[in-house]
Structures are given as C-alpha cells and as structure tokens.
Amino acid sequence: MKIGIIGAGFIGSALALRLTSLGHSVAIANSRGPETLGEVAQKTGATPVTSHEAAHYGEIIVVTIPLKNIPDLPKDLFDRVPAEVPVIDTSNYYPLLRDGHISELEQGELTESEWVQQHLGRPVVKVFNNILADHLEKLGQPVGTPGRIGLPVAGDEPAAKQKVMALVEELGFDAVDNGSLHESWRQQPGTPCYAADMSAKELRQQLESLGTERTEQQHAQFLANHVAQEKQMEAQGIKLK
C-alpha cells in the first residue's frame, strides 16, 4: 500500500521503518518541512514530503503528532481525500510533560481521539497509542506466536477499522477491537491497558472488565494514575517527541 505519515517522532519513525520493511511505500511529513527529514528518510526508507502531500498520498494516513499541535494542522489538510481512506490517530494527552491542560479532556466528556476527530473534521481510528515506539519497531511476531502483543483499535467506521486492524496484524500484533471511538478511553494513559504489552486474550479481558461507559470514579483514577506516571517520567528525564 501507499501510506502517508504526518509526524516523524518516535511512533511515526518506527511505523515508517516497519512499513517500508514490509514493502509498503511510505511518505512522511513533519511541521518543519521535508528538507529537515533527511536522517529519517535514510533510516526508514520513507520519502520526505509536506503535510498536505502526506495526507493525499496513500490508502491509509497516520497522524502522529503531539496532541497540543493538532489544532495547528491546516484546516484544509484532508480536503478531497477520499472518504474511504482511514485516518489513524496515535495521540496521547500529556499535560505535564508536553501538552498543557486541555479542559475538554480533563472534564471527561470527550476521549482524546474524539477531540482529535473534532479538530480534523474527519473520522479517525485510534491505535498505536498504547505501545512504546521501540516495542512497535521490534516486538512484532508472526500470527500464533505465544505472547504476541495485542493492540486495541477503536473507531466508528467499520470498514476503516477493519482496514486498520489488518495493518496491525501485518505489523506483527494481534488487533483487538476496542469498540467505538467513545470507548477509546480504555486505551488511554493511566489505564491498565496503557503500555502494558498484554496478549490479545489478556487485553480483551481487561477491556471487558472496564465496561463501556467511563464512570466519574474511573476518570478520576486514571487521571491520577497518569499524573503519577508523568511525574515519574519527568524525574527520569524522559522526553516526549
């Protein structure tokens, strides 16, 4: 396939490397322009392009930029991109380390990807947000391998979700249906499923145990968990990209 990636950070670069290794043609963009992506292109085999070119490049588009930068994307980014082209959102909300506080997400009415979807003006599929980039690059395994990692996939468009789930499987992970985009809170930071590298069976059991509607207690607990995680990351000098 032809796949466009908007964002050349840790996840974007890991995806570009894995996808090109599988024979896909990848175009990658960042906010600073294609002339700054020489090193990424050399490492991954992806072709540096502008954001508009990446959005119009392929059969699947991946948006993998800091959450705070989503509103800064061009408003016409997806104009004339066919409706059947899935748009993947990989973003996570990190208020302490990167994004500042976003009231809509603090209140809990919207999931992170619902917020992204509103700003993009286009349906998105949530995946690749709850796995470390290094693990995404190196831990994919053939179907049936014991301990193969399961990745949750959430979205409202069945055809788009199925296409994305097939790509997840090709990358070496078990794609686990995590329901609608409104249910994607179950794979956000602070939840038991975040960066846990569970098997598909374990992941399904965990998602089921959380229920489908996030309670106020769950929202408060997961926010508190994430604050603790961010403070630990800050103390360890971990940088987000």
pTM of the model: 0.97
> What is the C-alpha to C-alpha distance for residues 11 and 31, in angstroms, rounded to an integer?
15
| pLDDT 10s digits, 118-150 | 999 999 999 999 999 999 999 999 999 999 999
Q: How far apart are CA 197 and CA 135, in angstroms?
A: 9
At 238, is the pLDDT very low, low, confident or very high (cuts 50, 70, 90)? confident
Q: What is the DSSP letter of 97?
A: I
Tokens representing residue 15 in the block: 């995806």
- Percent of the chain with pLDDT strictly greater than 70: 100
Secondary structure (DSSP) of 177-196? E--SGGGGGGGSTTSTTTT-
Tell me what pLDDT residue 130 has. 96
Cross-strand partners of 155: 125
Looking at the predicted structure, is the pLDDT value of residue 233 above 90? Answer: yes
In whole angstroms, give the CA distance from residue 160 to residue 155. Answer: 8
Residues contacting residue 82 through CB under 8 Å, at least 6 positions apart: none
The average pLDDT across 75-104 equals 95
Which spans in the chain are helix H? Answer: 10-21, 38-44, 51-55, 103-107, 112-120, 133-138, 158-170, 200-210, 216-235
Q: What is the DSSP letter of 96?
A: I
Cβ(122)–Cβ(78) under 8 Å? Answer: yes
Q: What is the pLDDT of residues 13-36, one digit of tens each?
A: 999 999 999 999 999 999 999 999
Mean pLDDT value across residues 58-67: 96
With bands split at pLDDT 50, 70 and 90, how would you rate the model's confidence at 232? very high
SS3 71: helix
What average pLDDT does range 56-72 have in this prediction? 96
